[in-house]
Every structure is written in structure tokens, then in C-alpha cells.
């Protein structure tokens, strides 16, 4: 099943939309910030950190025409105030590595409005039909439809429903060739392990859970195997789990969620639950200066007991034992060394 999905050069949902939009200039819309993996010329972009994030509108990914993107994708921008025209010209000599934003955001949705800006890409004027040009904070956005990607920019795009979107603007380099199959096999191995714990998880749900864990760990700079082990300890990867007021994958207490404006119903949502749980554990790690013992104990028993020093280490020991089991499993599969270091240069990775 996975191979059939991966073999799609571009998933249809990202190319065609069944909705035809008729919107006047100034039309406003709340759009979802793209929250899956985004890889440009083999570099991973943490999209929700960006000041001007990529977003999805009517199932199409929108590209912000920023200086940052002009550098990584290799094009030059020219603005004509009199005619309100942006000219985009491909120029590989300008390509540079992605620069992490100094100020990190945590976008989920943004408000955009339809723009009257004219966009000319490599001497071709983009004529908005189903997909208008939008603006967000004075930055123009263009839709990455099949035509815009291939005919206007001359790029290549590949979509994997689990890992995300891959864009190649390098001549002669296919987007599919930048897809890290080794990393995907690693993710599938973790998904397989989760299913060995919870047999009710489908292959698709298990892999989506792994992608969710990786996404949130990347966002909050957390150890994904620690979070994997914590979810295993808390709920056996059951998003519907409930025990004495604790809800979902990371067993967030109703009272704790309520303090952040989250209802019990919201805590059953895997994305909301894991996002909150990872952020909450990250806060405890920061509070206790990186001590996993103190942070995990506070996560389980509360900060009062930890601060008083009368906490139990049983929870911490259980989580770390589970993490060690996962590391041993990944080591047997050839993904990490016995010491827990990922084998990025292994023979398997090079094949």
C-alpha cells in the first residue's frame, strides 16, 4: 500500500481542486498553515517557524514570494510600484541554503486576502482563475499548481502523503530523488513497533502518528524517541485512552488542558494532544535544566512533589526502559548504533 502511495509523482489533491473560487480583490480567508514536511532542494523547512509560512488554500500549496525563498529556490524578485507587478526570474546563481528565522513563530492558521498584484514568472504572466494571488502582511503568495510548478518555474514537485512535499528547483534534479527513503524506512520501523504494542492501529494511523511525533519534536526541539516512549507509557498509543481524568495519547489531565483553554473533546485529537504534551514536557525539561528524571517525574506526579523531593522515580525508570527497548529494536533493524546514535552513514543509508 505504501509503495503505491509513494509512486505518485504528485498527489492529485495538490494539483487539482474540485472547488472553483470566485473571489473579489480584498476577499479575506482564514487558511491553514501547511503542517507536514516541506523539503526544498533536500533541505527541511520548519514552515510554522517562518514569518511568512506556506499555506494551503482549496487543497493547493501557496508559495510566499519572499527574499528568503528567492535564495533557497534560486530566483530574483523585482517589484514595480507603479504597475503593482512582481517579476520573478529564475537565477540559479542566487541559490543559497535556508536560513532559520531568528524569531520563531508557531502558526496554525493565518488571515490572507485576495490581491490585485500582477505576477510575471519567467516572462509569463500568471492569470488567476481558480487560484488567486493572495497577500499576507504585504507579501504576495502564488499557488503551486501543476502548471505553475512545471510550466512557469520549471521546477519539479513530489508529494508523499506521510512525509510531505519535496520541491526541486535544481535543473536536472527530480524532486523524487531528494526523497529520503532511508528516513522513511526508519519511520515505518517505528510505526511497526507501535503496532506491535497496539494491534488496533492501522499501518496508516501508526505512520501518521510517527510523523506527528517527529513534527512536534522538531518544533519544540525534543527527543522523538523520548516522546515515543512517553506515549507508549501513557496510553499504549491509544488516542481514545481515558483514565481518572487523563485523556488521549499523552494522558493530559482535564484540569491541565482546561488551564490552556483545551476542552476534553479537543484533548482526544491526536494533533492537539501531542502538541500540548510535547510542549508541556519541554517546559519541564527547561525548568529542571535538562534533567529527564525531574522533568518526567514532574510530568507524571506534578512539580510540587518534585520540588519537595518526595517524588518516585518509577515513572522515569519505566519511560527510560521503554526508550531503551525502542533503541535496541532500531539497532537490530540497522537504523541506530547500540549507543542510540542514528546511523545516517550506514551502508543501508547509502543504498
pLDDT of residue 13: 36
Tally of CB atoms within 10 A around 57: 19
Beta bridge partners of 157: 167
Does 235 score more than 90 pLDDT? yes
| Mean pLDDT, residues 318-329 | 97
Does 23 score more than 80 pLDDT? no
Work out the mean pLDDT of the chain and round it to a whole number: 87
pLDDT of residue 244: 94
Confidence class of residue 99 from pLDDT cuts 50, 70 and 90? low
Confidence class of residue 247 from pLDDT cuts 50, 70 and 90? very high
Phi, psi of 190 (to 5 degrees): -65, -40
- Grid coordinates of 105: 513563530
Q: Which CATH class is domain 181-350?
A: mainly alpha
pLDDT of residue 101: 54
Percentage of the chain beyond pLDDT 90 is 75
* DSSP annotation of 229: H
Confidence class of residue 92 from pLDDT cuts 50, 70 and 90? confident
pLDDT in tens, 279-290: 999 999 999 999
pLDDT of residue 95: 67
Of 5-9, 95-99, 246-250, the one with minimum mean pLDDT is 5-9
pLDDT in tens, 43-76: 888 887 788 999 999 999 999 999 999 999 999 9
**Domain range summary for the chain, segments of one domain joined by +:** 2-178, 181-350
- Would strands 118-121 and 134-136 be described as parallel, antiparallel, or unpaired? unpaired
* DSSP annotation of 336: B
pLDDT of residue 11: 37
pLDDT in tens, 136-157: 999 999 999 999 999 999 999 9
Does 165 score more than 60 pLDDT? yes
Rounded CA separation 129/148 (Å): 12
**Strands, DSSP E only, in 116-163?**
118-121, 124-125, 134-136, 139-143, 156-160
| Mean pLDDT, residues 255-274 | 95
pLDDT of residue 351: 36
Confidence class of residue 173 from pLDDT cuts 50, 70 and 90? very high
pLDDT of residue 315: 98
Rounded CA separation 300/251 (Å): 10
Residues annotated as catalytic (active site), given as ranges: 234
List all residues 6 or more positions away from 250 whose beta carbon is below 8 Å from its beta carbon.
Answer: 230, 231, 234, 235, 273, 274, 276, 277, 278, 280
Does 342 score more than 60 pLDDT? no
Amino acid at each position: 500500500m505504501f509503495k503505491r502511495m509513494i509512486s505518485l509523482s504528485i498527489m492529485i489533491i495538490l494539483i487539482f481542486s474540485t472547488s472553483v473560487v470566485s473571489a473579489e480583490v480584498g476577499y479575506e480567508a482564514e487558511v491553514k498553515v501547511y503542517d507536514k514536511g516541506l523539503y526544498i532542494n533536500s533541505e527541511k523547512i520548519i514552515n510554522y517557524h517562518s514569518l511568512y509560512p506556506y499555506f494551503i488554500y482549496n487543497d493547493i500549496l501557496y508559495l510566499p514570494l519572499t527574499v528568503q525563498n528567492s535564495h533557497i529556490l534560486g530566483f530574483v524578485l523585482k517589484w514595480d510600484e507603479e504597475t503593482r507587478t512582481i517579476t520573478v526570474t529564475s537565477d540559479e546563481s542566487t541559490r543559497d541554503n535556508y536560513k532559520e528565522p531568528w524569531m520563531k513563530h508557531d502558526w496554525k492558521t493565518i488571515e490572507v486576502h485576495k490581491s490585485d498584484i500582477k505576477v510575471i514568472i519567467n516572462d509569463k504572466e500568471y492569470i488567476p482563475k481558480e487560484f488567486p494571488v493572495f497577500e499576507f502582511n504585504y507579501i504576495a503568495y502564488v499557488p503551486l499548481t501543476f502548471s505553475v510548478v512545471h510550466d512557469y518555474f520549471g521546477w519539479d514537485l513530489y508529494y508523499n502523503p506521510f512525509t510531505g512535499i519535496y520541491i526541486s528547483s535544481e535543473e536536472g534534479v527530480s524532486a523524487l530523488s531528494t526523497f529520503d527513503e532511508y528516513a522513511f524506512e526508519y519511520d515505518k520501523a517505528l510505526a511497526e513497533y507501535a503496532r506491535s504494542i497496539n494491534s488496533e492501529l492501522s499501518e496508516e494511523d501508526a505512520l501518521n502518528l510517527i510523523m506527528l511525533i517527529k513534527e512536534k519534536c522538531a518544533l519544540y526541539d525534543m527527543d522523538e524517541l523520548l516522546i515515543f516512549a512517553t506515549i507508549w507509557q501513557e496510553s499504549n498509543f491509544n488516542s481514545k485512552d481515558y483514565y481518572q481524568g487523563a485523556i488521549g495519547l499523552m494522558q493530559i489531565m482535564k484540569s491541565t488542558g482546561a488551564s490552556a483553554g483545551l476542552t476534553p473533546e479537543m484533548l482526544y485529537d491526536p494533533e492537539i494532544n501531542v502538541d500540548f504534551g510535547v510542549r508541556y514536557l519541554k517546559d519541564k525539561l527547561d525548568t529542571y535544566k535538562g534533567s529527564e528524571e525531574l522533568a518526567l517525574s514532574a510530568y507524571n506526579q506534578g512539580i510540587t512533589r518534585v520540588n519537595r523531593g518526595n517524588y518516585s522515580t518509577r515513572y522515569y525508570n519505566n519511560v527510560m526502559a521503554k526508550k531503551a527497548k525502542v533503541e535496541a529494536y532500531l539497532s537490530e533493524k540497522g537504523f541506530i548504533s547500540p549507543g542510540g546514535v542514528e546511523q545516517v552513514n550506514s551502508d543501508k543509508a547509502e543504498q
